[in-house]
């Protein structure tokens, strides 16, 4: 999460001329929108009509009067903030509301101009009025912005109509009739929540639970009707009153129509005189979301051109490769000794020369790249693939090579693993080389030295980039993710797997040597995080647990096993009601220890802890009228609450994978309804999914809200969601619109609201996992009891090799005539030969077929065969735990 990501000199935009919706959303009235009536009050601007020439104004470059207007001629190639028409010492007062009006034009037309009222360096350029991007034309336009000043500017503010981005073409900027009047009433933001019947706007699985929420004044049950796409009533019933939901502040009732299973398009629910948004009932409802949620990672790549052929509408030049004005990530220095941030370190720190830290994913709505957020993100993507080796309902083919539109498709490696590699390779570059201070640790982040504005393509970012001091948290994130990646790549690229494992072990040892090297917490007086979020974390015991768990799962080494068992998190409760996130990662270790095959003592207890956590989430969910498995202890929704809800769904889904109990499956299905529209705001938080969906998330290049030539975020991008602390963060859009909001209403779909509407790689990762889980469930019916049992007994064969005896028992009532048995190795093992069976292996997946002497398995009888294979040096060789007989999962003996 980005709790302090944008504090300080955060330059965000809330709208643009002519985009009335975006402007209204932040409480600012723009061109073509009727302004609030101003009370009689003195004008705070001196000589705003320029009757006295340019007196009182600071204009640069080439100021002139043209037909009574102040004008400047801006040369082509001018950088950000290099040209402006401005007035200093504007006496704005914190808490006061103002109306700013002016007329502006640009010849030729341009969209690189902004309007802002801000303080100077003594307050780190804090903004009294959030900056506004202006789409100027040669024809003068009148702009009106109403805002409330929420910052103290002891020396007054600077009113500036200013160059914002580098421009390719010279233009003339002219301004006239500038006025700033205090004492106005700011517009009141009232979200359009649409029909009072709230549903999953995409739909429901035929055999899954189906619920909706009615916002109503009624306290008694009211009738409801379910209508099909043709308007015919196909089911009726009455609502179940729930009273006032504290998370929404609304009186609500619930609707249960789970008995309806007929697939169809365009269903609607009608209750209390309201008709819901339309939705479908379909078994393939989430197939597209499985793919969409991953497309976000390709279009977020750094250091590579994004192909418009692969991602239509999202093509752009490579970002941060050193092509001017971009300074690039191929030769990045460490922080300067005179950087203000150095004052927060225990001792000054820097390094010699530069490092190539290109590649990876941009973390969020800015251009920074953070190892501590990379770890959980890439880990959850890899866990999605690893689930196909352990979960009975998983569909490995859906994540195979050729399933994503990425450049690496067709190389024989699952595409999701290729995407993960793009981030893992960057994380390896962030590891400090031998011979330097903190060798083996990972630099905390690479980012701009100052915040950039919106819109701004990565390739147009002119800021200098710097590496920040290593941290123990970042180092352990690298250790955990690299160890996990090593066992997954072992079947596809042994050399890269070895590189990952070596880096993981080196990182873990370096963290043990420096267990308390923390990223400094922010200090507003120093603004220690210009251009990037701090991601500070001074408790890394959970990172040590996670890294030890991944290293144990990959290597089987006793030293890592001992660290896992000794960790306070191993026996502790790592599944809080509010979910887990980048700063609380012990749950990642626990989930993998529960699901990835291993020989850890007490593993049954580990698996039971996941079920216990899932039971607690189901109990929380039962009390939520909107269906979400989320009940934070204090009732406040945290920053990135949607990701917390999705992570709780990962726990529920994992519990279903372990136990097969349909209650956990239903818990995931019900909870996703909230994310896709069954919520207080009646909005789907996933772009492109639903009739009313978030699409103006905070981003510098998915910025259609302020520059129509740029795209919205790609379909399948999840917004951070309601944030009870949004106003307290300093988010100007939240301050203007969300004062006093109740939890579920602390959200606004506006590009300027970084505390409620940002996008991040770690929020999309659990969405991707959940989408795959749901897509794998087909109609939503619980799986049937297996009709076979497999025993896999390992034994030694020779140095570096292994043998195993595999026994398949038919527990069904009918004879099996001819069989294949399929499983996947989890750490790069390969089968060299078999006895009494034929074998084929593709990547990690092995398919064994019957010998002519054992083709028939009668009820209650068994057949056996042997295999002999190799296990990579340094890697564990656990017994597989998921077998499929003729495509159907079996019970694994001893699991």
Mean pLDDT (whole number) for 632-642: 95
Q: How far apart are CA 811 and CA 316, in angstroms?
A: 56
Mapping DSSP onto H, E and C, the string for 198-214 reads ECCCCEECCCCCCEEEE
**Domains, in order of start, for the chain:** 28-182 (2.60.120.260), 203-281 (2.60.40.10), 287-582+590-776 (1.50.10.10), 788-892 (2.60.40.290)
pLDDT at 5: 33
HEC string of 543-556? HHHHHHHHHHHHHC
* Buried b / exposed e along 422-458 (16+ C-beta atoms within 10 A): bbbbbbbbbbbeeeeebebbbbbbbbbbbbbbbbbbb
Mean pLDDT of 498-519: 97
Instruction: Say what the pLDDT of residue 527 is.
Output: 59
CA distance linking residue 783 with residue 245, whole number of Å? 34
Q: Give the integer Cα–Cα distance in Å for 500 and 487.
A: 9
Single out the catalytic residue among 131, 415, 493, 758: 758
Active site residue 570: no
% the chain with pLDDT above 90:
82
Selected catalytic residue, list 245, 698, 731, 881: 698
Q: What is the pLDDT of residue 606?
A: 98
> DSSP letter at 426?
H
Mean pLDDT of 763-786: 96
| Average pLDDT score over the chain | 92
Annotated catalytic residue: which of 329, 363, 537, 749? 749
Q: What is the mean pLDDT of residues 132-156?
A: 91
pTM of structure: 0.90
**CA nearest neighbour of 381 among 415, 413, 412:** 415
Kindly report the three-state secondary structure assignment for every residue of 781-798: CCCCCCCEEEEEEEEECC
536 flagged as catalytic = no
Q: Of 131, 176, 339, 366, which residue is the catalytic one?
A: 366
- Give pLDDT, residue 247: 98
Residue 45: Cβ within 10 Å count:
20
Phi then psi for residue 378, to 5 deg, are -70, -30
For the question of residue 749 being annotated catalytic, the response is yes
Query: For residue 230, what pLDDT is reported?
Result: 97
Q: What is the CA radius of gyration of the chain?
A: 29
Q: Is the pLDDT of residue 811 over 50?
A: yes
Q: Which two tokens stand for residue 753?
A: 């609201």
- For the question of residue 366 being annotated catalytic, the response is yes
pLDDT one-digit tens code per residue, 358-369 = 999 999 999 999
Strand pairing class (445-448; 465-467): antiparallel
**Model confidence pLDDT, tens digit, residues 4-20:** 332 222 222 233 322 33
> What residues are paired with 830 via a beta bridge?
870
Q: How big is the CA angle at 359 (ends 356 and 360), to the nearest 5 degrees?
A: 125
Whole-angstrom Cα distance, residue 502 to residue 496?
A: 10
Check if the beta carbon of residue 235 is closer than 8 Å to that of residue 260.
yes
Question: What pLDDT, on a 0 to 100 scale, did the predictor assign at position 25?
Answer: 31
Query: SS in 3 state form for 158-218?
Result: EEEEEECCCCCCCEEEEEEEEEEEECCCCCCCCCCCCCCEECCCCEECCCCCCEEEEECCC
User: How much is the average pLDDT of 33-61?
Assistant: 78
C-beta atoms surrounding 95 within 10 Å: 9
**Residue 572 buriedness (CB in 10 A; 0-12 / 13-18 / 19+):** middle
pLDDT tier at 208 (50, 70, 90 boundaries)?
Answer: very high
- pLDDT band of residue 586 (cuts 50, 70, 90) is very high
Dihedral pair phi/psi, residue 396, rounded to 5°? -60, -30
Lowest mean pLDDT among 40-44, 193-197, 669-673: 40-44
Query: Cβ(861)–Cβ(810) under 8 Å?
Result: yes
Does 168 have pLDDT greater than 60? yes
Q: How far apart are CA 771 and CA 773, in angstroms?
A: 5
Strands of the sheet containing 211-215, edge to edge, are: 197-198, 211-215, 250-256, 240-245
What per-residue confidence (pLDDT) applies to 798? 64
Does the pLDDT value for residue 331 go beyond 60?
A: yes
Task: Give the count of beta carbons closer than 10 Å to the beta carbon of residue 20.
Answer: 16
d(C-alpha 825, C-alpha 75), whole Å: 62
Q: Which pLDDT tens digit goes with each residue over 775-784?
A: 999 999 999 8
Q: Which of 244-258, 444-458, 481-495, 670-684 has the lowest mean pLDDT?
A: 444-458
Report pLDDT for 408.
98
Q: Cis omega before residue 108 (within 30°)?
A: yes
pLDDT tens-digit series, residues 77-86: 888 789 999 9
94 C-beta neighbours (distance < 10 Å), count? 11
Tally the residues of the chain: 895
3-state SS track over 102-119: EEEEEECCEEEEEEEEEC
789: β partners:
809, 891
Strands 141-148 and 157-163: unpaired
Lowest mean pLDDT among 14-23, 91-100, 290-299: 14-23
């Amino acid at each position: 999460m980005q709790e302090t990501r944008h504090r300080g000199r955060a330059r965000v935009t809330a709208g643009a001329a002519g985009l009335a919706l975006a402007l209204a959303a932040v409480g600012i009235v723009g061109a073509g929108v009727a302004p609030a009536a101003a009370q009689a009050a003195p004008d705070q601007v001196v000589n705003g009509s320029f009757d006295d020439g340019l007196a009182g104004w600071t204009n640069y470059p080439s100021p002139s009067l043209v037909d009574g207007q102040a004008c400047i001629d801006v040369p082509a190639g001018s950088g950000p903030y290099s040209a402006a028409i401005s007035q200093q010492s504007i006496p704005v007062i914190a808490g006061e509301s103002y109306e700013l009006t002016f007329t502006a034009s640009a010849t030729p037309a341009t969209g690189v101009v902004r309007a802002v009222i801000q303080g100077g360096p003594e307050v780190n350029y804090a903004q009294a009025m959030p900056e506004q991007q202006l789409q100027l034309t040669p024809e003068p336009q009148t702009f009106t912005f109403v805002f409330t000043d929420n910052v103290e500017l002891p020396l007054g503010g600077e009113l500036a109509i200013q160059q914002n981005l580098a421009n390719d073409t010279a233009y003339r900027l002219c301004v006239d009739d500038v006025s700033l009047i205090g004492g106005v009433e700011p517009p009141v933001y009232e979200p359009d929540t649409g029909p009072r019947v709230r549903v999953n706007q995409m739909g429901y699985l035929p055999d899954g639970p189906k619920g909706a929420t009615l916002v109503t004044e009624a306290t008694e049950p009211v009738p409801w009707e379910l209508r099909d796409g043709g308007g015919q009533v196909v089911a009726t019933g009455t609502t179940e009153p729930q009273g006032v939901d504290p998370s929404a502040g609304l009186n609500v009732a619930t609707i249960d129509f789970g008995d309806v299973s007929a697939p169809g398009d365009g269903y609607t629910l009608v209750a209390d005189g309201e008709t819901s948004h339309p939705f479908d009932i379909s078994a393939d409802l989430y197939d597209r979301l499985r793919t969409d949620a991953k497309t976000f990672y390709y279009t977020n790549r750094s250091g590579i051109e994004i192909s418009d052929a692969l991602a239509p509408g999202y093509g752009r030049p490579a970002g941060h490769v050193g092509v001017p004005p971009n300074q690039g990530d191929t030769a990045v220095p460490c922080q300067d000794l005179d950087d203000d941030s150095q004052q927060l370190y225990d001792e000054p720190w820097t390094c010699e020369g530069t490092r190539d830290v290109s590649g990876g994913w941009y973390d969020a709505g800015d251009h920074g790249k953070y190892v501590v957020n990379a770890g959980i993100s890439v880990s959850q993507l890899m866990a999605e693939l690893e689930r196909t080796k352990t979960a009975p309902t998983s569909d490995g083919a859906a994540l195979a090579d050729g399933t994503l539109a990425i450049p690496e498709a067709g190389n024989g490696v699952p595409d999701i693993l290729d995407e993960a590699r793009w981030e893992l390779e960057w994380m390896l570059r962030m590891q400090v080389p031998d011979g330097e201070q903190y060798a083996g640790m990972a630099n905390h982040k690479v980012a701009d030295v100052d915040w950039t504005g919106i819109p701004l393509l990565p390739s147009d970012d002119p800021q200098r980039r710097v590496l920040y001091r290593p941290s123990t948290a970042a180092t352990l994130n690298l250790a955990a993710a690299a160890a996990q990646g090593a066992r997954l790549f072992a079947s596809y690229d042994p050399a890269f797997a070895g590189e990952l494992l070596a880096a993981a072990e080196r990182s873990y040892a370096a963290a043990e040597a420096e267990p308390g090297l923390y990223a400094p917490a922010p200090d507003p007086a120093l603004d220690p995080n210009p251009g990037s979020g701090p991601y500070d974390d001074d408790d890394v015991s959970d990172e040590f647990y996670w890294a030890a768990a991944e290293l144990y799962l990959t290597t089987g080494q006793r030293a890592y096993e001992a660290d896992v068992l000794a960790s306070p998190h191993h026996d502790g409760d790592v599944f809080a009601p509010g979910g887990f996130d980048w700063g609380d990662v012990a749950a990642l270790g626990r989930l993998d220890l529960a699901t990835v095959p291993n020989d850890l003592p007490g593993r049954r207890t580990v698996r039971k802890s996941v079920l216990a956590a899932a039971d607690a989430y189901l109990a929380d969910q039962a009390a939520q009228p909107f269906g979400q498995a989320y009940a934070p202890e204090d009732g406040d929704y945290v920053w990135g609450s949607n990701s917390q809800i999705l992570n709780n769904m990962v726990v529920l889904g994992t519990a279903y994978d372990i136990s097969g109990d349909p209650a956990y499956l239903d818990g995931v299905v019900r909870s996703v309804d909230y994310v896709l529209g069954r919520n207080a705001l009646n909005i789907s938080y996933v772009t492109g999914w639903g009739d009313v969906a978030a699409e103006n998330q905070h981003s510098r290049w998915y910025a259609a809200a302020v520059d129509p030539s740029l795209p919205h975020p790609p379909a399948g991008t999840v917004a951070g969601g309601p944030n009870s602390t949004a106003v307290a963060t300093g988010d100007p859009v939240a301050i203007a619109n969300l004062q006093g909001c109740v939890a579920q209403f602390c959200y606004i779909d506006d590009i300027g609201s970084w505390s409620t509407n940002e996008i991040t790689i770690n929020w999309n990762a659990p969405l991707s996992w959940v989408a795959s889980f749901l897509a794998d469930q087909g109609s939503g019916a619980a799986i049937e009891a297996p009709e076979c049992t497999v025993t896999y007994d390992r034994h030694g064969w020779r140095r570096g090799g292994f043998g195993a005896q595999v026994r398949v028992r038919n527990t069904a009532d009918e004879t099996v005539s001819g069989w294949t048995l399929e499983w996947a190795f989890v750490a790069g093992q390969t089968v060299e030969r078999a006895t009494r069976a034929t074998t084929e292996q593709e990547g990690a997946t092995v398919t064994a077929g019957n010998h002519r002497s054992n083709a028939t398995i009668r009820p209650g009888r068994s057949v056996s065969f042997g295999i002999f294979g190799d296990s990579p040096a340094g890697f564990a060789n656990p017994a597989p735990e998921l077998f499929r007989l003729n495509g159907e999962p079996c019970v694994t003996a001893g699991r």
